[in-house]
């Protein structure tokens, strides 16, 4: 039998080889913040800039996750946790494949972000706090959700009747209030370039 067993483990492409080929290190950039704080807007701008610079970059956001991978999940506490668990596992696979993964989800509690960090690994988890005051998010009210939450039409809305726990020691604390989208994105890009250079 032994002669018919052909181990392939010595031929498996290592992450370090992928990183050398890509010209940058892999990692997960986890954007957390209130609804309307700017996570998706900033993540998309960062993705665009890194992509055009030749990086292997992937964006996980509500739009491409809630419809497929997590399409069976709702918004109960258990489902929100399962949502983040699957996202973190997916981000981990992409990072192992050499990608710089941008994840933009409210992820309101320290516990839920700790779960994501534990899945992804401390080393690969770069937490970006999109630090926009509630009043500013509410004034933006991009999706009209704050008005609905104030009117009692949506329950357990983060920042209104459900808490948001700010990160204690984020990789990056991004204050968007008096900043253009371009300036916020540039801050993130610079931090990624610095942290994830080869």
Ligand X SMILES: Nc1ncnc2c1ncn2[C@@H]1O[C@H](COP(=O)(O)OP(=O)(O)OP(=O)(O)O)[C@@H](O)[C@H]1O
Residue 104 appears among annotated catalytic residues: no
Q: Which of 21, 76, 104, 107 is catalytic?
A: 107
Report the nearest approach of Mg ion to the CB of residue 177 (Å): 17
Report the nearest approach of Mg ion to the CB of residue 42 (Å): 10
Close Cβ partners of 124 (under 8 Å, ≥ 6 residues apart): 26, 27, 28, 92, 95
For the four alpha carbons of 147, 149, 152 and 154, in that order, the dihedral sign comes to positive
Binding mask 172-191 for ligand X (x = CB under 6 A): ----x--xxx--x-------
**Is 184 known to sit in a ligand binding site?**
no
Report the nearest approach of Mg ion to the CB of residue 40 (Å): 3
Instruction: Name the closest residue to ligand X (Cβ).
Output: 38
- Applying CB under 6 A, which of residues 19, 41, 69, 97 lies at the interface with ligand X? 41
Dist CA 135 CA 71 (whole Å): 31
Q: How far apart are the first and last CA of the chain?
A: 43
According to the binding rule CB under 6 A, does residue 37 interact with ligand X?
yes
Question: Between residues 17 and 177, which has the closer beta carbon with respect to ligand X?
Answer: 177
According to the binding rule CB under 6 A, does residue 167 interact with ligand X?
no
Kind and range of the H or E run holding 57: strand 57-61
Nearest to 35 by CA among 134, 116, 180: 134
Question: Between residues 24 and 39, which has the closer beta carbon with respect to Mg ion?
Answer: 39
Report the nearest approach of ligand X to the CB of residue 67 (Å): 14
Subset of residues 32 to 91 that bind Mg ion, contact rule: CB under 5 A: 39-40
Kind and range of the H or E run holding 92: helix 77-96
CA atoms within 13 A on the CB side of 168: 5
Per partner kind, with CB cut-offs from 5 to 8 A, the member of ligand X, Mg ion, none near residue 59 is none
Q: How many Å is the Cα radius of gyration of the chain? A: 19
According to the binding rule CB under 6 A, does residue 42 interact with ligand X?
yes
Catalytic residues: 107
């Amino acid at each position: 039998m032994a002669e018919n067993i052909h181990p392939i483990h010595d031929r498996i492409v290592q992450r370090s080889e992928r990183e050398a080929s890509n010209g940058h290190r892999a990692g997960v950039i986890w954007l957390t913040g209130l609804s309307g704080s700017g996570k998706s807007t900033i993540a998309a701008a960062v993705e665009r800039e890194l992509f055009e610079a030749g990086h292997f970059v992937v964006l996980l956001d509500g739009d491409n996750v809630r419809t497929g991978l997590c399409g069976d999940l709702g918004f109960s506490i258990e489902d929100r946790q399962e949502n983040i668990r699957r996202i973190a596992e997916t981000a981990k696979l992409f990072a192992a494949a050499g990608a710089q993964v941008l994840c933009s989800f409210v992820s309101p509690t320290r516990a839920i972000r700790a779960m994501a960090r534990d899945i992804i690994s401390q080393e690969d988890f770069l937490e970006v706090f999109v630090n926009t005051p509630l009043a500013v998010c509410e004034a933006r009210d991009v999706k009209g959700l704050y008005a609905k939450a104030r009117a009692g039409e949506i329950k357990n809305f983060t920042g209104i009747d459900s808490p948001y726990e700010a990160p204690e020691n984020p990789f990056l604390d991004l204050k968007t209030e008096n900043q253009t989208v371009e300036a916020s994105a540039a801050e993130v890009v610079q931090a990624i370039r610095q942290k994830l250079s080869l």
